[in-house]
Amino acid sequence: MAIMTNQASTLERQAAQEYVNKVYEAVVKRNPNEAEFHQAAKEIFDSLVPIFAKYPKYIEHNILERIAEPERMITFRVPWVDDNGKVQVNRGFRVQFNSAIGPYKGGLRFHPSVNTSIIKFLGFEQIFKNSLTGLPIGGGKGGSDFDPKGKSDGEVMRFTQSFMTELYRHIGPDVDVPAGDIGVGAREIGYLFGQYKKIRGAYEAGVLTGKAPIYGGSPTRPEATGYGTVYFVEEMLADKGLSFKDSTVVVSGSGNVSIYAIEKAYQLGAKVVACSDSNGYVYDRNGINLDTVKRLKEVERKRISDYVLEHPEAEYYEGCTGIWKIPCDIALPCATQNEIDEASAQTLIENGVKAIGEGANMPSTLEAIDLFLENRVLFGPAKAANAGGVAVSALEMSQNSMRMSWTFDEVDAKLQDIMKNIYRNSIKAAEEFGHPDNLVIGANIAGFTKVADAMIAQGVI
Ligand code: NDP
Ligand code: 2IT
- Ligand 1, atom 5, lies closest to the CA of 255
Residue 340 to residues 111, 126, 307, Cα–Cα distance (Å): 20, 20, 23
Query: Would you state the pLDDT for residue 3?
Result: 41
What are the contacts of 188-192 at 24+ separation with CB within 8 A? 188/108, 188/110, 188/148, 188/156, 188/160, 191/156, 191/157, 191/160, 191/161, 191/164, 192/108, 192/160, 192/163, 192/164, 192/167
Ligand with smallest separation from the Cα of 106? 2
What is the model's pTM?
Answer: 0.97
Q: Which amino acid is at 134?
A: G
Please list, in sequence order, all residues whose beta carbon lies within 8 angstroms of the beta carbon of residue 104, skipping any fewer than 6 positions away: 96, 97, 98, 138, 139, 140, 175, 176, 177
- What's the rounded Cα separation, in Å, for the pair 75 and 200? 21
User: How many Å lie between the centroid of ligand 2 and the Cα of residue 285?
Assistant: 32
Farthest CA pair distance, the chain: 79
Nearest residue to 440 via CA among 388, 362, 353 = 362
Q: Ligand 2 center to residue 389 CA distance, Å?
A: 6
Testing ligand 1's pocket by substitution, the residue of 110, 127, 182, 256 carrying the most ligand atoms inside 8 A of its CB is 182
List the beta bridge partners of residue 91: 77
Per the DSSP assignment, residues forming a β-bridge with 355 are 330, 378
Q: Which pLDDT value is given to residue 2?
A: 38
- Which stretches in the chain have pLDDT values below 70? 1-8
**Mutation test residue for ligand 2: of 127, 209, 390, 397, the one with most atoms within 8 Å of CB:** 390
Backbone phi and psi for residue 430, each to the nearest 5 degrees, phi listed first: -60, -45
Spatial distance between the Cα atoms of 349 and 451, rounded to a whole number of angstroms:
35
- Which residues share a beta bridge with 95? 73, 141
Q: Which ligand lies nearest the alpha carbon of 112? A: 1
**141 catalytic, yes or no?**
yes
The contacts of residue 295 (CB under 8 Å, 6+ apart) are none
Distance CA 270, CA 283 (A): 15
- Using the atom order of ligand 2, give the atom closest to the CA of residue 126: 3
What's the pLDDT at 9? 84
* pLDDT given at position 8: 44
In ligand 1, the atom with minimum distance to the C-alpha of 183 is 2
Q: Which residues line ligand 1 (CB under 6 A)?
A: 180-183, 185, 225, 253-258, 277-279, 320, 334-336, 359-361, 386, 389
Q: Cα of 144 to ligand 1 centre, how many Å?
A: 14
87-98, strands of its sheet edge to edge: 72-81, 87-98, 139-144, 104-110, 176-179
Q: Say which of 141, 211, 271, 383 is annotated catalytic.
A: 141
107 CA → ligand 2 middle, Å: 4
* Size (the chain), residues: 461
d(CA 241, CA 431) in angstroms, rounded, equals: 19
Give the atom of ligand 2 at the shortest distance from the alpha carbon of 105: 9
